[in-house]
Amino acid sequence: MEFHPNTLDPRAYRGALGRFATGVALVATRDDVGAPRAITINSFCSVSLDPPIVSWAIDEASDRHRLFVAARDFSINILSADQQALAERFTRRTEAIIEEGGYDLDGSVPLIRGAVSRLTCETRFMQTVGDHTVIFATVRRFEDKGPADMLGYCNGRFTTICAQGD
């Protein structure tokens, strides 16, 4: 193990943070012409149970930053282990439109089909932190399939987070 005192070599630092396994989700909303769009995230966090508040972060350099900071309503969709191709599709592509048949609607908010859990959220407030905007949102509704293998991310690649059951 190499210790990096008083330095933050970006590559080494990113590698160190990448050791922490996270879940993978898609955030989905509609753009200004009504097209359903999404972005893959692994920065999702539960903030409060009462009231139900969650947060996620988006890089200010993202081509979808403007879209998501302007969105009042959106969904967070926790992906199942078999949705890796979907997650890869929405990582960096500008096109990011969700195909017809790949989503349901909660009002006007797109919910990704096949996700383990789907949360309909309303933006509460945002905070710029470093090179990201952290979006805090109230969860208005949710649905959950129960224990299932979920898509994860660790050491720079997708992995499976195995369900243990209730």
* Least confident interval from 1-5, 40-44, 160-164: 1-5
Listed in order, strand segments (DSSP E) in the chain are 22-23, 25-30, 36-41, 45-48, 53-59, 73-78, 103-106, 109-112, 117-129, 132-144, 150-154, 157-161
- Chain segment 23-55, per-residue pLDDT in tens: 999 999 999 999 999 999 999 999 999 999 999
pLDDT in tens, 92-117: 766 678 988 999 999 999 999 999 99
Greater model confidence, 125 or 93: 125
CB atoms within 10 A of CB 132: 17
**Ranges of each domain in the chain:** 10-153
Please name the fold of domain 10-153.
Pnp Oxidase; Chain A (2.30.110)
CA dist., res. 147 & res. 6, Å (int) = 43
Residue 15 belongs to what H/E stretch? Answer: helix 10-17
